Amino acid sequence: MSEYDYIVVGAGPAGCVLAARLSEDPTVRVALLESGGRDRRPEIRILAAFPKLFRTAYDWDFSTVAQPALGGRELYWPRGHTLGGCSSINAMMWVRGHRDDYDAWAGTAGEDWSYDALARCFRRAERWTGDTADGTVYGTEGPLLISPPRDPNPLTDAFLDACQDEDLPLLAELNGPDHSGCAITPLSQRGGRRWSAADGYLKPAGRRPNLDVLTGVRVRALALEGDRAVGVITENAPGAPVITARREVVLSAGAVGSPYLLIRSGIGDPDRLKAAELIREDALQPAAR
């Protein structure tokens, strides 16, 4: 099929959630496009095996530009290239992020982006499967399974002792309202196996007849009519190279992939586009780079 209501580009954590939520409406057709393959490699499931996924077909294998503050070194930057994206190749540590970062967003974008406002979204996504005898800061009915490490490495205790020697307080819960300190990190796992965004969101939704998950399909650029995206231009999709969207195209290709596709489509700073020989006479300028 080459026409859908919604096209979601990139099946990382955001893409899995978007595809699952959009396809809850049975009256719309949704396509989720992923340039990588299915998440079937055994090392994806084994908790300690995630480094074996680096620099493989499951990893975009990015490198940064030379970093002046690091002696000019270029740093390896793994990014997931499979269903689930980075949630299928990372170390599974479940860390919500520091309150101060979200509250800084709220100072610019409004209180809906504050930590307290977003905490309910965290809880809605989470299903804590650890001890709840004393209550929990986590949600207990969401699709993402979270629990303590089953067998912490002995180095963990030594590391926490070293942190406390440097006056960092030991926290009873890492993702509590006050994150300033050290603690054992909970993991996104189920019974000792990785539990990714693809496991939590995409696989249950994948049975819906109105959702097509297309792997091995690389998007080259947006298909534009004036200032509106009406589809995507692919390199290797089965059938027609252009897949059209009746309603919306959603880019969820990551911090590198989404800006890359915008630039390839002629959307961005005209000076930069000209330097890349991608200038359009009617180049669109996003609000932020």
Q: Considering the chain, what is the average pLDDT of its residues?
A: 92
User: Are the C-beta atoms of 262 and 268 separated by less than 8 Å?
Assistant: yes
Q: Give pLDDT tens digits for 146-197.
A: 999 988 888 999 999 999 999 999 998 999 888 899 999 999 999 999 999 9
Is the pLDDT score of 109 beyond 50?
yes
In sequence order, the β-bridge partners of residue 211 are 30
pLDDT of residue 12: 98
The one-letter code for the residue type at 95 is V
Q: Give pLDDT tens digits for 219-247.
A: 999 999 988 999 999 987 666 789 999 99
- For residue 125, the surrounding DSSP H or E stretch is helix 115-125
Report field, pTM of the whole predicted structure over 0.85:
yes
Domains of the chain: residue spans and CATH: 1-64+74-92+196-289 (3.50.50.60), 93-187 (no CATH)
User: Are the C-beta atoms of 279 and 270 separated by less than 8 Å?
Assistant: yes
Q: Give pLDDT tens digits for 29-84.
A: 999 999 999 999 999 999 999 999 999 999 999 999 999 999 999 999 999 999 99
